[in-house]
Amino acid sequence: MQITSKFHSKRGSALLVTLVTAVVIGTTLASYLGMVKYQNQSNMRSLYWNTGLPVAEAGVEEALTHLAWADTNLAQYGWTLTNGSFYKERMIGTSKVQVRMSVTNPPTILAQAYILDPKNNAFIEPPRTVRVTTTNDALFAKGMVAKGVIDLNGNNIETDSFDSTDTNYSTNGKYVASKSKDNGDVATNSGLINSLNVGNANIKGKASTGPGGSVSVGSNGSVGSKAWVDGGHNGIQPGWTTDDMNVAFPDVKVPFTGGGFTPASGNVGGTNFQHILAGGNYQMSSLSMSGQQKMLVTGNSVLYITGNASMSGQSQIILAPGATLRMYVAGPTASLGGNGIINNGSALNFSYFGLPSNTSLSFAGNAAFTGTIYAPSAAFTLGGGGNNNYDFVGASVTSTVQMNGHFHFHYDEALGKIGPRRGYTVTSWNEI
């Protein structure tokens, strides 16, 4: 059978079909490419947006590092005083950060991050900008701080706080029980079980450990507010413990190089003194005081002991009114016994610094101690405690704490306000 086609071949029909097909495929391809481009742009926008933040924060870090190392002269190491603020610009990879620090103290830091757009080879505007305010953090922001275990092993141990610069919370700058506060915090970085053994002590303040750490309290121990402890409650008041303690303890540096004076002996007011420090830098290979030996400090003095320090018998270090002593000990052992440090001023007047090689510090005897201890590598042992409640006034930062006897530990909150600082930290962070 022969079928005759009704369709006559037409010239150009194949071309038309090809063209239509090409248009359909082309449109589809163009749409795909458009979507891919759109997605790519979206990804790139997000990438640039998120890249800007670490670049800006790198600028903030740069400023904080500069504050820590440049001391008082901030116009150095590439920083210039420009238009009333300290300014630095640097490249980080292909990105650029401009950092400005106000001349105020503590400074405000403004960091602007510019991200390079490879398509145009130009920085994207506007920059991502971060502004932070800072504070020069207190070295002694809490009463008793340690890297490791704190063991308050003894009877009638108590911590609380006062403020030697506020007459509402002190009398003539001295601790008075009736004006005490409840910021006698005890804190450890340790995350060990029972890393803070309160025993039967009364902690008028917060007890803090590192993550996973725990606070052990004896049957007569109490941790909490002044009202909680004075109210006769045992145990831990809800909300007065935390387990997120995480503080860096920078090492103590040698106070000076090039040597210092050797303290001379002498007679002052009819009393013989083994060592007299009249102000300035003093250096000794070791300190050993016993019997009735005395040291007198009459000016603002720094004493660098390259070896061990030992006080026993009835020896004592006497700070004249208005005098200050910063004692640095590099030897492995220091023992502040005898009659201790006679400091009728505030805790700011006497400071003990243990260098990294100072691994043991003991505080014995019945004399009161007014001052601060910063020895982050030293195991701190306290024994004795006298018969009154004026035992330890100030603050301590050590590696561990072992407290025996019946110490009363009074944290002076003035140390947090006007005491030594440990460096600038960020207090607020805003993106603008």
Partner 1 sequence: MTLVEFMISGSIAAILLSAVAMLTFYTGRSFASMANYIELDQHSRGTLDQMSQQIRQTTKLLSATSQKLVFLDHDGSNLTYVYNPTNRTLIRQKTGQPDKVLLTGCDNLEFNIFQRNPINGTYNQYPTANAATCKLVQLRWTCSRDNIYSRFNTESVQSARIVIRKQ
Q: Report if residue 428 touches partner 1, rule: CB under 8 A.
A: yes
Pairing mode of beta strands 264-268, 271-277? antiparallel
Q: Out of 26, 78, 211, 291, point to the residue binding partner 1 (CB under 8 A).
A: 211
Tokens 């909680």 — which residue?
228
Q: Closer CB to partner 1, residue 2 or residue 387?
A: 2
Strand partners, 196: 150, 215
Closest CA to 284 of 250, 312, 255: 255
Interior angle at CA 430, CA 424 and CA 432, nearest 5: 130
Minimum distance from CB of 274 to partner 1 (Å)? 47
Each residue 75-114 as x (binds partner 1 by CB under 8 A) or -, in order, gives ----------------------------------------
Q: Out of 13, 18, 42, 155, point to the residue binding partner 1 (CB under 8 A).
A: 42
Q: Out of 84, 125, 244, 269, point to the residue binding partner 1 (CB under 8 A).
A: 244
Q: Closer CB to partner 1, residue 31 or residue 220?
A: 31
Locate all alpha helices (DSSP H) within 95-163, ordered by sequence.
none
* 264, two tokens: 């001379």
How many residues lie near partner 1 (CB under 8 A)? Answer: 31
* 216, two tokens: 């052990």
* 242, two tokens: 């935390």
Closest CA to 200 of 185, 214, 181, 219: 219
Q: Report if residue 246 touches partner 1, rule: CB under 8 A.
A: yes
Q: Closer CB to partner 1, residue 257 or residue 430?
A: 430
| Ramachandran category for residue 280: left, alpha or beta (phi over 0 → left; psi -120 to 50 → alpha) | left
Minimum distance from CB of 49 to partner 1 (Å)? 6
The per-residue b/e assignment along 160-183, b for 16 or more CB within 10 angstroms, e otherwise, is: bbbbbbeeebbeebbbeeeebbbb
Q: Which H helix or E strand runs over 343?
A: strand 340-343
Q: Which stretch binds partner 1 (CB under 8 A): 93-101, 155-163, 309-317, 423-431?
A: 423-431
Minimum distance from CB of 112 to partner 1 (Å)? 16
Q: Report if residue 35 touches partner 1, rule: CB under 8 A.
A: yes
Q: Closer CB to partner 1, residue 54 or residue 420?
A: 54
Q: Closer CB to partner 1, residue 28 or residue 82?
A: 28
Q: Report if residue 219 touches partner 1, rule: CB under 8 A.
A: no
Report yes or no: 260 and 248 within 8 Å, Cβ to Cβ: no
Q: Report if residue 193 touches partner 1, rule: CB under 8 A.
A: no
Q: Report if residue 31 touches partner 1, rule: CB under 8 A.
A: yes
Minimum distance from CB of 246 to partner 1 (Å)? 5
Measure the CA–CA gap between 349 and 324, rounded to whole angstroms: 4
How distant is the alpha carbon of residue 105 from its chain centre? 18
Chain positions contacting partner 1, by CB under 8 A: 1-5, 28, 31-32, 35, 38-39, 42-43, 46, 49-50, 132, 191, 210-212, 242-244, 246, 426-431
